[in-house]
Structure 1
Amino acid sequence: MLDAPAKRSVTIGGHRTSVSLEDAFWKVLGQKARELGRPRAALIAEIDRKRPPEVGLATALRLFVLDSVQNHDPA
């Protein structure tokens, strides 16, 4: 269960960026995106748009995953 963060590139608003997350977070993000019927990159872009500027993208993604798992909520 313990793994090092994996850096992946995503496109948000037409700009490429890299995000480092542990594999467990990448997996849940992919599952949630499939449940919502959209690409993982689109879900990440939506989370990015909604996050406050003082919260980093990786943190926002981890918090999204935590919230969705705790609430068993697809989005």
Structure 2
Amino acid sequence: MKPPVSARPVKHSLTLRGHRTSVSLEDAFWQAFRDLAARQDMTINALATRIDAERGDVGLASAIRVHVLRDLQAMRQT
């Protein structure tokens, strides 16, 4: 049996272009983010760097959540 998924954000460190930063996401988003990176044959740091470069004035955690959500929605439509 899987442990319960926490609804509280969990902080993890990422490296973006050689700089460490912390991002807080809920467990479900961390798992979906890791799965998405694996499907794209990327590390989560590489995927976060790409999202960071495209995010504009939105916070990184929000940009990751939206990116993950859009990916899941696109998968559901196919």
* TM-score, length-scaled by structure 1: 0.89
Give the match for residue 47 of structure 2. 43
Indicate if the aligned counterparts of 2:6 and 2:27 stay in contact, CA closer than 8 A: no
Structure 2's unaligned 5+ residue stretches are none
Runs of 4+ residues deviating >2 angstroms: none
Structure 2 CA distance for aligned equivalents of residues 2 and 29 of structure 1: 15
The match for 2:72 among 64, 69, 75 is: 69
What RMSD, in angstroms, separates the aligned Cα atoms of the two structures? 1.3
Larger-gyration structure (1/2): 2
Structure 1: which 5+ runs fail to align? none
Normalization by structure 2: what TM-score?
0.86
SS in 2 for 1:38: coil
